[in-house]
Structure 1
Amino acid sequence: MRIIVVADIHGNDDKFRQALKSVSLKKTDKLILLGDLIDRGKNSKKVLDTLLLLKSNGFENITYIRGNHEQMLLDAIDNEEKEYIWIKNGGDETLKSFRVNFANEIPYVYKKLLESSTFFLEYENYFFVHAGLNFELENPLIDTNSMMWIRDISFEMYKKSTFSSKIIIHGHTPIQQNQIRENLEKNNIINLDNGVYIKKEHYGKLTIVDLTNKKLIFI
């Protein structure tokens, strides 16, 4: 069984499907999605449909980590006063993909899928999370907000924490491709987000990693 990780997809279903094909995803693999499947890109609904299709076709070993964009959409569905914040952060493209005007018009099956996401996953010597952990706390696991939103992870605090034996894999903050390569080779805190929606040199790719075989692919 391989461990396959996909960073922030942001509504890019074509790249998501290409990424899965690039590693020849099998039902025996463990697929981990680092959150932010939605928003900014034009095909958020299709991304979620691809995930539902995988699940319905026997790809059961999938972990969907919750990102800040999933949380903003869930907040918008439950509280219309928060919808403007979500729309300003790329939610407008998600609404267009569903051909609806308001978050609460998105079909329940998709809300249920978003709600099925988890804030983190500990597996073998890895810890998977969308944004990172707040190591200023004695128990970072109580701070789910930081798991979705934190930008700066203190490496010094990490080394002193009970997580120092774990390799932390996250996304959320776009970095250049060469930084991702270097982190994967040398560091224990590994950011895989290349900013798939960013039209700029060294950015704009979807990252997929076969952790078992140390294979990094940019789509």
Structure 2
Amino acid sequence: MRTLVIGDIHGGLRALEQLLETVRLSEDDMLIFLGDYVDGWSESAQVISRLIELSKTNDCVFIKGNHDVWCEDWLNDGTANPIWLKHGGEETIESYTGFTDFEKNRHLEFFEAMPLYHIDDDKRLFLHAGFTSMHGVEHEIHKETLYYDRTLWEMALTMDRRIQPSSDLYPKRLIHYTEIYIGHTPTLYYQEDTPMKAANVYNLDTGAAFTGKLSAMDIISKKVFQSDTVMHLYPHEMGRNK
């Protein structure tokens, strides 16, 4: 049995299908998705339908991302956040063309059931973005932080590698978890298109929404699997995502 953690999909169903084929998915595999399933490429609604079907064959955890919150709000009461519309929301709404009210309600229930984080038996933490509480995610006052924060990753990137977890200088945020897996901040910002590690934090957002790839990682072996560059899977949509 493997546990595979998967980065931000952003409406790229073709990349997801290719990635699942690349990992040679077995029904024994557990999948942990780090959020942002929608907004970007043209198949956001179709991604959600595929994930719902996938949950019937595999043990899955679907973490909620900020884009998922916006889509959930729209499915719930028609609220279309102006910021969301500028960051893929219009394309997501368009992808729901032809979906019945029953199907939309099933998607809404799927979004509503998503946790904001997951901690496994080995104290590995999985969440979309980050957290600020020195006491850990359970003590985060503002839950929005869990799907918006970038300071966790920024802190990890700038840490002196000589500082060990046993040191008093080691950030208190990090000592609660053996490993932390996040998405949200594309590694493309750092000229990388593969998952990055800083301290005990792994960043799996390899820019699938833009000019990067969709990535998965085996959390034990740390083997990385990737789709093709997603924009090449949607050649008629190139240039739309910025």
C-alpha separation in 1, matches of 2:143 and 2:41: 25
The CA deviation at 1:76 is: 2.9
Larger radius of gyration: 2
* Match runs of 1:107-126 below 5 Å: 107-123=104-120, 124-126=122-124
Q: Which residue of 1 aligns with 2:240?
A: none
- Alpha-carbon shift at residue 173 of structure 1 (Å): 0.6
Q: 1:5 to 1:138 in 2, by over 3 A?
A: closer
How far apart in 1 are the matches of 2:6 and 2:63? 10
Alignment of 1:193 onto 2:205:
yes
Question: In the alignment, is residue 174 of structure 1 matched against residue 186 of structure 2?
Answer: yes
CA distance in 1, matches of 2:11, 2:206: 14
Q: 2-side partners of 1:172 and 1:162: how far apart?
A: 18
Offset at 1:64?
0.2
Does structure 1 residue 22 correspond to structure 2 residue 22? yes
Match of 1:98 in 2: 96
Note the 1:118-197 alignment, pairs <5 A. 118-123=115-120, 124-135=122-133, 137-141=134-138, 142=140, 143-153=142-152, 154-155=155-156, 159-161=171-173, 163-176=175-188, 178=192, 180-183=194-197, 187-197=199-209
In 2, Cα distance between the equivalents of 1:108 and 1:78? 8
Could you tell me how far 1:218 is from its partner in structure 2?
Answer: 2.2
Gaps of 5+ in 2: 160-168, 228-242
Q: TM-score, normalised by structure 1?
A: 0.84
Deviation track 1:139-196 (CA, whole Å, cap 9, x = no partner) reads 543332111001121347973247444211000010137474551xx63011111111
| Residues 52-99 of structure 1, C-alpha deviations (whole Å, 9 max, x = no match) | 22123x22x100000000111222344545533322221111111111
Q: Percent identity?
A: 29
Moved more, 91-100 or 75-84: 75-84
Determine which structure has the larger helix proportion and give its number. 1
Q: TM-score, normalised on structure 2? A: 0.77
Question: 1:216 is aligned with what amino acid?
Answer: V
Q: Deviations over 1:28-71 (max 9, x none)?
A: 11100000001111101111111122123x22x10000000011
Classify the secondary structure of the residue corresponding to 2:171.
helix
User: For residues 34 and 43 of structure 1, what CA distance do their matches in structure 2 show?
Assistant: 18
Other-structure match for 1:208: 216
Residues matched between the structures, number: 208
- Give the whole-Å Cα distance in 2 for the aligned partners of 1:211 and 1:162: 18
**Runs of 5+ consecutive residues of structure 1 not aligned to the other structure:** none
